[in-house]
Amino acid sequence: MYAIIETGGKQYKVAVGDIINVEKLDANVGDKVNLDVLMTVNDGVVKNGNPYVADAKVVAEVVEQGKADKIVVFKYKAKKNYRRRQGHRQPFTAIKILSVD
């Protein structure tokens, strides 16, 4: 059984035991969070939501709060001596899927 969930404006395919990185959630390590379910698949039986499946529930536990690797943002304009260099580290939350109902 697996489900398609939505969090942080993105969609993820999850099953029990998966650990995924999602956009930063306002929760502490060890907290349990409920996620919005768009679709579930159980032994070939598909339930679609409009937009969410009413009786479906995905529970996850926050494993880690962190920052992704640094990326470099570099802007320049040719022949104008314009150079700007900036780094960015996107915050994320690692969650472990406990149950898909």
Q: What is the pLDDT along the chain (101 residues), one digit of tens a residue?
A: 999 999 999 999 999 999 999 999 999 999 999 999 999 999 999 999 999 999 999 999 999 999 999 999 999 999 999 999 999 999 999 999 999 98
Residues whose CB falls within 8 Å of the CB of residue 56, separated by 6 or more in sequence, listed in order: 3, 37, 40, 47, 49, 100, 101
> DSSP code of 96?
E
The Cα 8–Cα 37 span in angstroms is: 13
pTM of the model: 0.87
Task: Spell out the domain ranges in the chain.
Answer: 2-66+92-100
